[in-house]
């Protein structure tokens, strides 16, 4: 299935993935993680991108983020790469790009997918077998979402706030949802959708985006189009 042209919708959440070239590590020690984290935090603030969830893991980065304009996501990722790649190459005596092509991103319907994507990002280290329990992996937004360690990178989405009337209620509810998510076999449908640039949402949500952006936001139907409308 052909990849759709990248779609960025201001003030809408996006699920974003960036991988290392040939699945190589892009973080080798804690200093690498911290260096990238600090530049990501600076870039998100500079280009007005709200980050609701994140994962920095070995050979990949996952973000749940809302840009304030159509250029914010690209400018943020370019800015971070402009600093991080030379740092990494100099430290590990290598040359060339660090990334497996351009980053992948998909617009998501917040009502249906925002919490699902946030939980997928925070639970990914356990599903991937990197750690055994939630909370062991330090470079994700999980510790923030359950109230263990406030994270200045995170801008809580209104739907996260809707989980409870107090911080304790929200954190307890999120922790429970994360535990429930771990009992469900990992579904790579989200990752595949991001890789293809498919919008994640209801048919009504996709239709509204197509009307708003004048752009196809879902895979085309297989086969040749009918020359004459079929009788149904």
Q: What is the pLDDT of residues 1-10, one digit of tens each?
A: 445 557 888 9
**CA 105 → CA 23, 171, 175, distances in Å?**
18, 27, 26
Cα dihedral 136, 141, 147, 150 sign: positive
- Which fold would CATH assign to domain 14-210? Alpha-Beta Plaits (3.30.70)
If phi over 0 gives left and psi between -120 and 50 gives alpha, with beta otherwise, what is residue 107?
beta
Query: If you ran DSSP here, which 8-state letter would residue 55 be given?
Result: E
Average pLDDT over residues 66-87: 96
Q: How confident is the model at residue 196 (pLDDT cuts 50, 70, 90)?
A: confident
76 neighbors 103 (Cβ within 8 angstroms): no
Specify the pLDDT at position 232.
37
pLDDT number for residue 215:
64
Tokens representing residue 129 in the block = 């077998």
Q: What is the mean pLDDT of residues 177-196?
A: 87
Three-class secondary structure of residue 162 per DSSP: coil
> Percentage of the chain with pLDDT > 70?
89
pLDDT at 231: 46
> What token pair was written down for 48?
């007005």
All structural domains of the chain with their residue ranges: 14-210
206 touches 193 (CB < 8 A): no
Q: Tell me, what's the pLDDT at 222?
A: 55
Tell me the pLDDT tens digit for each residue of 105-151. 999 999 999 999 999 999 999 999 999 999 999 999 999 999 999 99
Q: Quick check: 226 pLDDT over 70?
A: no
Residue 217 has a pLDDT of 64
Q: DSSP 3-state assignment of 20?
A: strand
Give all strands (DSSP E) within the chain, no chain letters: 14-19, 49-57, 60-67, 104-107
pLDDT at 204: 84
pTM of the model: 0.88
């Amino acid at each position: 299935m052909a990849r759709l042209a990248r779609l960025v919708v201001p003030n809408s959440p996006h699920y974003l993935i960036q991988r290392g070239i040939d699945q190589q590590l892009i973080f080798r020690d804690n200093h690498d993680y911290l260096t990238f984290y600090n530049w990501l935090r600076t870039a998100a603030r500079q280009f007005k991108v709200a980050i609701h969830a994140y994962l920095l893991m070995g050979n990949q980065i996952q973000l749940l983020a809302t840009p304030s304009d159509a250029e914010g996501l690209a400018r943020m990722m370019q800015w971070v790469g402009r600093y991080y790649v030379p740092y990494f190459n100099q430290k590990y005596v290598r040359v060339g790009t660090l990334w497996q092509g351009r980053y992948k991103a998909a617009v998501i319907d917040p009502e249906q997918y925002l919490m699902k994507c946030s939980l997928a990002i925070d639970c990914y280290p356990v599903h991937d077998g990197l750690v055994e329990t939630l909370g062991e992996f330090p470079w994700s937004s999980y510790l923030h979402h359950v109230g263990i360690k406030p994270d200045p990178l995170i801008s809580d989405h209104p739907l996260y706030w809707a989980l409870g009337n107090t911080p304790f209620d929200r954190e307890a509810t999120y922790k429970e949802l994360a535990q429930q998510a771990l009992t469900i076999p990992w579904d790579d449908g989200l990752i595949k959708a991001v890789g293809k640039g498919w919008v994640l949402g209801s048919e009504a949500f996709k239709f509204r985006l197509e009307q708003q952006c004048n752009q196809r936001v879902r895979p085309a139907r297989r086969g040749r189009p009918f020359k004459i409308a079929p009788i149904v």
